[in-house]
A = this chain, B = another copy of it.
Amino acid sequence: MVSKSQQKQILQLKQKKYRQKFGLFVAEGTKVVEELLASNWKYNSLFSQKDHFHPQAIPVDLKTMKQITHFKTPSPFLGVFEIPEPPIVPPSPITLAVDGIGDPGNLGTILRLCDWFGVDELICSAETVDCFNPKVVQASMGSIARVSCRYETNLASCLTALEKPIFGADGTGKSLYQTQLPIAATYVFGSESHGLSKVVNGLLEAKIAIPNLRSGQGAESLNVATATAIFLSEIFRGAQSFKGDD
């Protein structure tokens, strides 16, 4: 059973102001909920359409799930989790930052990429979508349990303080394939529509572009998550070819 007040609170958690007020967020789907539980994230309540999902899960039917889901189509599992204290992430040679990414699917996909490439923290400008937005949590496919988002009101001064060369993804830059991309550096990605902010642009060691093979006759830009994928692959490919994967 889900009480009226529980239902109301769960639906309020769609909004950032209520997530901040209550210190809670919602995760849906088997994979995502399981990953958070496996990472020992504290839950406030768990709801399941199936038996034996978790000893503490409250059994609910499809109708109830439809009333509390944040999505068009409900998942069999929904968890209300506590937003954790920001973890202390040990310094890493590579720093990844995003400057004003508004699309939650893109931020979630970037978190999944960070997880894949072993990047434990993503620095986000204050204008970037909240990482506990339900669509970010969903698109991260559980990687939010391992990659922490650090929101900085002054992204530029935060990046400067790291004292590493800063590279920005920018369609007008030098080819990615013709530039040494050190692992010990900071890489910043802006939104597709607005690019990098002026102040961040002023800090760059270089602008780096993924060359367009149609020489500008095709797509105008790439989706920021696919661009990040290509950058991460290119940055780490050298390190990996010595690892002996086969």
Quote the shortest CB–CB distance from A178 to chain B (angstroms).
6
Contacts of A117 in B (CB 8 A): 213
> How many interface residues does chain A have, given as a range?
35 or more
Q: Is A41 on the interface with B (CB-CB < 8 A)?
A: no
Count of identical protomers in the assembly: 2
Chain B residue, CB-CB nearest to A240: B177
Q: In chain B, what residue has the closest Cβ to A245? A: B175
Task: Point out the residue from B139, B174, B219, B240 that lies within 8 Å of A246, measured CB to CB.
Answer: B174
Residues on the B chain within 8 Å of A237, using CB: 177, 234
In whole angstroms, what is the CA distance A230 to B219 when docked? Answer: 17
What are 8 sample pairs from A and B whose C-beta atoms fall under 8 A apart?
A115-B219, A118-B218, A177-B241, A178-B241, A211-B240, A213-B240, A225-B225, A227-B229
On A, residues with C-beta under 8 Å from B are 31, 105, 109, 112-113, 115-118, 139, 141-143, 146, 174-175, 177-178, 209-214, 218-223, 225-230, 233-234, 236-237, 240-241, 243, 245-246
